Structure 1
Amino acid sequence: RAIKHVKESIFTSEGGVRRGVPKVLVVLTDGRSQDDVNKVSKEMQMEGYIIFAIGFADADYGELVNIASKPSDRHVFFVDDLDAVKKIEEQLITFVCEAATATCPSVLMSGNTMAGFRMMDMFGLVEKEYSNVEGVSLEPGSFNSFPCYRLHKDALVSQPTKYLHPEGLPSDYTITFLFRLLPDTPQEPFALWEILNKDNEPLVGVILDNGGKTLTFFNYDYTGDFQTVTFDGPDIKKMFYGSFHKVSSLVLPLDHPWPLV
């Protein structure tokens, strides 16, 4: 119940939680939980919380592993007693500070906690919030695990970058899209994702051209020069016909000058 209480009563906007700021929780226990901590811990990790678990005395190591983020060797600690916490203090502080000051929040993917976030969540495309987003409707029954949303012609889904990238984009990153183009999708090029400056001028983005059947990535490099690369191969052209498609754009530093799709 303690973990659930922290989630519902401490990690709130009234308690000082801010969007774009990592949420880090350190759990200490000397015994086994009397309720299902696995469920609430997994929910919190799915929502981007970073959880460290410290056990001592009669704590159950397996339960600590279930509570904590992954990998376990970075987020789970076990000591003989509370006084022995000093033995792990330096390492724990280092790991917690790294998590709390990360330029990117964390996300649970394939059983491991990694830097990243679900853009749909950050843009309000979740079941409890999507009705507040203009030009968006829910497509029921598309997937068993994840809801799917239809973006209508008047849709403009946006958020201030201070909520998503408060420290700016890292030197390398990956953006993944899962989408399906419908028959009435406009033929004109449009942005699947882009970042604008304060004058609404595009700085970086991914452009889909339904008419030309191409995918384009663009950005400005560190010198201010405009860079762009267009993908138009057979695999790209498949995206424009009917089915759902998953596209990942990997952006690498200067020694890897072009993104990979």
Structure 2
Amino acid sequence: SAHLISFLFKVIKDVVQSSHSGKRTRRATSSVTAVNDLVYIIDGSWSVGVSDFDTAKQWLINITSQFDISSHYTQVAVIQYSDTPRLEIPLGKHQGVAELIKAIRSISYLGGNTQTGRAIKFAVDHVFASSQRSNLVKNRIAVVVTDGKSQDDVVDASMEARAQSITVFAVGVGTEITTSELISIANKPSSTYVLYAEDYTTIDRIRDSMEQKLCEESVCPTRIPVASRDEKGFELMVGMNIQTKAKKIPGSLASETAYALAASTDITENTREIFPEGLPPSYVFVSTLRLKGISSKLPFDLWRVMSKDKAIQAAVTLSGKDKTVTFTTTSTTEKEQKAVFKTGFQVGTLYDGKWHQIKVLVRHLQVTGFLDDQRIQELMLTPVEPIYINGETQVSKRRGTDITVEIQKLRLYCDPHQSERETACEIYSPGPPGRVGLVGALGPKVSADSSPLHVANIAL
């Protein structure tokens, strides 16, 4: 009987472990489930005051509660600093959001002078260095919150942080901050890594921005060269290996190159290879395309992400028959949800056989469609679920039948503001002297950025 009990115990243990392991591998993935070491470095000097310090703690709680706090995903540490830094919460001490929130609320206000550089050095030398997951962590992120000029040097400590691949955000609160100091603390570009709040009573207004930036850093480690900036995002032409799978052909302009995808060309990759941490909560899908011939009447998925059981988790679908563009995403209440852009002439011109640019701007609870820099329509979404990364990502697929497509570039930008910077310049032709020609039907804007890396072309 002792052997039987031992055997049954082993079987039960194996089943439980297998169940937990299966849940982890099947788990939906997004920025909230990314593997982060996240360290907050919070100003506790006299200029802050008890009331504003409590407000700053609530701001931390509001942001941190969006992440999955566990040994498998995000671990959080909190340092409060004034004359000296004080480690309030070590990395990995609290395994769960509720436990972490309780610990943040219990932090008592220090008071003292402002030694920001010393606090950053302490984070680098003692907190990040103490991580037990150094071989597993993909993202090491520090968020420095201060309401005034540091009384010591911040440059050396910040440079050392970046040298150790720690991404540093600087959050300045109030009117006593020094912009140049925040810029020297944070990573570049400062437009991404420096945030400002008027005072502590309004700091929660930048909560969404901070959440988005932290998610971008977690989910979008790659950079796409665009003009003078490096944008976070996914270069799908490269990630999907289109350049090696398809035949090279002329693009929309003489300086551009496209690729022909025959019906037999299979543009399919494992999602975990393209989006290893899932999709960010907000992003911009951009493509420039030309639809012509009978193929322009067939509905097809320009881009789609499928789960292992073939459920559509994200897709941009074009239908020449209905003159529509459809965005599909997940839903917390249904299997999927669709947003259909069909505002008359604007969408209809997409199917006129000329070059056009599509942008789909995805934000929390809304999605906006653009054609040739013109806003088509803004549609509402219900809350979405993170995607599963155990399936496949595909380009140019008709459900049931493949179609032939010619592609020059496909991109997904993690920063929603890239929608404002990204223009349809690639569909403009020089034209006669003194005027600008347009290959497509619309396009009142002209951009100086017409580099090959800025063009996304698809022709059918």
TM-score normalised by structure 1 residue count: 0.57
Aligned mates of 2:252, 2:306 — CA distance in 1: 31
In the alignment, is residue 250 of structure 1 matched against residue 367 of structure 2? no
The Cα shift of 1:145 comes to 4.1
Structure 2: how far apart are the matches of 1:178 and 1:210? Answer: 16
> Match for residue 88 of structure 1?
159
Matched-pair identity in %: 25
**Which residue of 1 is the match for residue 150 of structure 2?**
none
Change (3 A) 1:123 1:179: same
Secondary structure at the counterpart of residue 294 of structure 2: coil
When you count helix as a share of all residues, which structure comes out higher? Answer: 2
Q: Which of 211, 215, 219 is residue 103 of structure 1 equivalent to?
A: 219
SS at match of 1:238: helix
Specify the alignment match of 1:63 in structure 2: none
1:181 pairs, out of 273, 277, 291, with 291
Cα deviation 1:126-170 (Å, max 9, x = unaligned): 2xx2xxx2xx32223643443112233344311111111111111
Q: Which of these residues, 230, 240, 246, is aligned with residue 123 of structure 1?
A: 240
Task: Return the offset for 1:225.
Answer: 5.2
State the shift of 1:86 in Å: 5.3
Alignment pair present for 1:259 and 2:368:
yes
After the TM superposition, which residues 209-220 of structure 1 pair with which residues of structure 2 at under 5 Å, given as runs? 209-220=319-330
Would you say 1:137 and 2:247 are equivalent positions? yes
* Native 8 Å contact 2:252 2:355 kept in 1: no
Partner of 1:221: 331
Residues in 2 aligned to 1:156 and 1:141: alpha-carbon distance in whole angstroms:
21
CA-based RMSD of the aligned residues comes to 2.8
Alpha-carbon spacing, 1:89–1:163, altered in 2? closer, same or farther (3 Å): same
Name the structure 1 match of 2:201: none
208-217 or 224-233, larger mean C-alpha shift: 224-233
Q: Which runs of 4+ in 1 moved over 6 A?
A: none
Q: What CA distance in whole angstroms lies between the structure 2 residues aligned with 1:168 and 1:182?
A: 33
SS in 2 for 1:191: strand
- 1:50-79 Cα offsets, whole Å, 9 max, x none, are xxxxxxxxxxxxxxxxxxxxxxxxxxxxxx
CA shift in 2, pair 1:86/1:172, >3 Å: closer
Residue range with higher mean Cα deviation, 216-225 or 161-170: 216-225
**Cα displacement string for residues 175-220 of structure 1 (whole angstroms, at most 9, x for unaligned residues):** 1011111213163311001100112221210111121111111111
Partner of 1:32: none
Give the aligned partner of residue 349 of structure 2: 238
Specify every segment of 5 or more residues in structure 2 that has no aligned partner in the other structure, as ranges. Answer: 1-154, 169-186, 188-213, 371-460
Structure of greater Rg = 2
> In the alignment, residue 161 of structure 2 is paired with which amino acid?
E
C-alpha distance in 2 between matches for 1:218 and 1:141: 28
Secondary structure of the residue that 1:236 maps to in structure 2?
helix
- Provide the C-alpha distance between the structure 1 equivalents of 2:158 and 2:328, rounded to a whole number of angstroms: 49
Cα distance in structure 1, aligned partners of 2:299 and 2:368: 19
2:279: which partner in 1? 169
Deviation at 1:221, TM superposition (A): 2.4
Distance in 2 between the 1:125 and 1:150 partners? 9
TM-score (norm 2): 0.34
- Mapped partners of 2:229, 2:361: distance in 1: 20
Structure 1 residue identity aligned to 2:167: F
Q: Per-residue deviation at 1:223?
A: 4.4
